[in-house]
Structure 1
């Protein structure tokens, strides 16, 4: 409803403007010679939070992590239920905070009496089944009302309740925006995520559906968070169907026109543990006959996901506790946790007394890269125009490697002064490096013109580019 059309034909000149491009797909790439797009895997940084409060329990999941201007907020499902019943008021939405995204604490909020005490970290209770999959976001809509700085959706398909909208001025105190569900056509039996899209200029919701026996994703849009378009099923290109239990689609904070989806891939009936092993780990008897891992896909709007990579983004760890049903589900959102680092959080040890949230780290923009071996390779881009006056790259090379950049016209003819021979030899490992040609970096004369890049690489990775001012 009212969203900008983001579709770009391959025959059109891409308008890069000053946006950062990460190489998660072939959107900008015309040719690769002895080079390829590589998926990188996050570093395991260990447990950051145990779900060990009496009102949290072994079924804590569907986590969301929000970087609110340096205050990190985590939301997740807790509950007293021993059988994971999603339609009772024995489930709650719990909350934790951090000043760095690494060290977390659970404040005593005093909002709801749970298990005989107000000293708990529950931000939503007594509104079943909303807290089964309550999924909040920080509203980046410049026209959002101050008392609606945070928004959320939660709900299920039972009795056609659908997804109910909530708002909050502070991320702690929540109230319904409407009494009934605003999106009703879906299965909703997992985390259903929404956000304000800067590039599409509307609210977008990605939610659980079923198609041909598989857990799939559909999408709807809205300009006011109340009235939503008819759901449209997402497509995945020419890839085999899989159970996408969660999809966790969100704008990448350094390139918000690109949505990254780091979700949980469910493998029903793919059993690793024996009954005896499950009993030894004290796994809930209903949750050890399947396994899961984390996948990576992207979207640039519309109803298309790009699944360039079918391999796992995060494999289950060593130990049988990592191979139970519905474990290894990533939290919603990737957040920056250092000058050169971003973090992803994953729910692990599901349905076990050791259930926890784990942190994984990556370099900024480091989901993927264009990579070339020692023998050398190159990438040529599609025709594009830009509005900045400097080319910034995020890259790494070996001590023996290098990167050189050539700017060509739209037909592939090198531009005088910007050839490979004019380009500096770039060696190193930096998040931000400005490219020079014969000691000049100023690209003002090329702004608005249609150009291509030819990037020559040897034992190197290129994570992102941006024409910045």
Structure 2
């Protein structure tokens, strides 16, 4: 009798490193088996054309977030990160004075909130700043680091408690990006005395972000570089690592349009669909007084950003101060802040969107339809996030891979879907159970009138 061998920790690390290297060099176009894209029971958002084969009378629509009233005491520091850690929201941003990027007078500040709207400044007493320890400073008196300290909550399975939080920080003049770890997100230790990520060309003069990728099974870092196919522009490169210590050769993402500077990337896994990375880069216009606005991009891993939407996601708006020099930076991470609501932050302003509501398949006053590419799924029910007008509706037909309606799941069998729900189970005359056709290649035909479809998911029984 023979037994399967369990890989040693070293060989497992080698295999993971090889997988990360392949992820860094994978082709940019999405690939899938001839019998369909396997979406399993993942939630899919309509932020790109990944699942779409045909659109007739419909379009993908980017939805603008709504600014909430400005509350007293709201943090406004640059290069902010917001992390939802259980019931606690943690915010990190830059303060202090500086004559240059990485000046030792720069500081990193820490804030807390229980609702993502009202913030407190805990008196940590860690560093004396301006003659007092009564402050919320967590990084101070260190050259290069506080300029762009960017932490994340490490969600890698098996991560040790003392390294539950990780961060990257540093600028090119300081040697590159240094790694930091923390057990509580407040007290930080430098992982190594040498930088973890370096660059031969000028880089890192921005907020450089990292996270554990559940879908790619490695750490990913998106950082500032300058070389694009359109010449010398502020842009984004990417590197990956199996252990946060050894990083692959960087790959230029090159998402810029001609003449377009992308100041930050703000790339992070979307909390309800972590295989989709949401990016909220700041677009920088040097010839317009260094004014800025916020863009919207996505990625599904590899060295590619999808730019289905080329117009601004968040405009500077009516406030004259928001048209000033570098006045708009989106904080890293979109976070849930209520039933059906998620929040993103631009300096001191909080913006809200419907859950999954970055973009939708949109139908106006005439009926249109979407036909999906062939897909395979696992699950018992089809749940959708949608909104209709009082006169609008949505109907969904399940077809075989050739486009023929599957008996019992035709358009005439689908009960009209009317209303506004973050989650609603699609029902046909025979019921809502689709498990009998799970794992078979299918297409979805979605017919819509005066409505928006934000996301869909084939859901296993008992799953929220």
Shift of 1:439: 4.6
Change (3 A) 1:221 1:49: farther
Question: 1:220-231 to 2 correspondence within 5 Å?
Answer: 220-231=239-250
Residue 374 of structure 1 corresponds to which residue in structure 2? 365
CA RMSD of aligned residues (A): 1.5
Whole-Å Cα distance in 2 between the matches of residues 321 and 19 of structure 1?
41
Extract unaligned runs of 5+ from structure 1: 53-57, 271-288, 348-356
Which residue, out of 184, 193, 210, partners 1:170?
184
Q: Deviations over 1:270-302 (max 9, x none)?
A: 1xxxxxxxxxxxxxxxxxx32000000000000
Matched, 1:34 2:57: yes
Which residue, out of 247, 251, 270, partners 1:232?
251
Whole-Å Cα distance in 2 between the matches of residues 339 and 89 of structure 1?
42
Which residue, out of 182, 198, 203, partners 2:196?
182
Residue 131 of structure 2 corresponds to which residue in structure 1? 116
- Structure 1 residue ranges, 4+ long, deviating more than 3 angstroms after superposition: 4-8, 48-52
TM (norm. structure 1) is 0.90
Q: Deviations over 1:208-230 (max 9, x none)?
A: 00012200100000011010000
Shift of 1:47: 2.4
Shift of 1:9: 2.4
Residue 198 of structure 1 corresponds to which residue in structure 2? 214
Shift of 1:240: 3.5
Q: Deviations over 1:161-181 (max 9, x none)?
A: 100000000000000011111
Farther off after superposition, 308-317 or 192-201: 308-317
Residue 107 of structure 1 corresponds to which residue in structure 2? 122
TM (norm. structure 2) is 0.91
Which residue, out of 403, 423, 435, partners 2:426?
435
Whole-Å Cα distance in 1 between the matches of residues 60 and 413 of structure 2?
26
Shift of 1:328: 1.3
CA contact (8 A) 1:49 1:358 kept: no
Farther off after superposition, 204-213 or 10-19: 10-19
CA contact (8 A) 2:403 2:443 kept: yes
Q: Deviations over 1:81-126 (max 9, x none)?
A: 4x4x323211011010000101101000010111111110001112
Whole-Å Cα distance in 2 between the matches of residues 319 and 436 of structure 1?
47
Shift of 1:459: 0.4
Shift of 1:49: 6.1
Change (3 A) 1:291 1:442: same
Whole-Å Cα distance in 1 between the matches of residues 145 and 110 of structure 2?
15
Query: What SS does structure 2 have at the residue aligned with 1:158?
Result: helix
Whole-Å Cα distance in 2 between the matches of residues 219 and 9 of structure 1?
20
Q: Deviations over 1:399-441 (max 9, x none)?
A: 0000000000001110000000000100000000000010501
Whole-Å Cα distance in 2 between the matches of residues 468 and 101 of structure 1?
29
Whole-Å Cα distance in 1 between the matches of residues 259 and 43 of structure 2?
31
CA contact (8 A) 1:401 1:459 kept: yes
Which residue, out of 169, 173, 185, partners 1:158?
173
Shift of 1:199: 0.1
CA contact (8 A) 2:102 2:146 kept: no
Whole-Å Cα distance in 2 between the matches of residues 366 and 466 of structure 1?
15
Whole-Å Cα distance in 1 between the matches of residues 367 and 81 of structure 2?
41
Whole-Å Cα distance in 2 between the matches of residues 113 and 198 of structure 1?
39
Matched, 1:309 2:309: yes
Question: 1:17-416 to 2 correspondence within 5 Å?
Answer: 17-48=40-71, 50=73, 60-81=77-98, 83=99, 85-159=100-174, 161-185=175-199, 187-211=203-227, 212-236=231-255, 239-270=257-288, 289-347=289-347, 357-416=348-407
Query: What SS does structure 2 have at the residue aligned with 1:265?
Result: strand
Whole-Å Cα distance in 2 between the matches of residues 49 and 175 of structure 1?
32
Change (3 A) 1:220 1:78: same
Shift of 1:50: 4.7
User: How many residue pairs get matched?
Assistant: 432
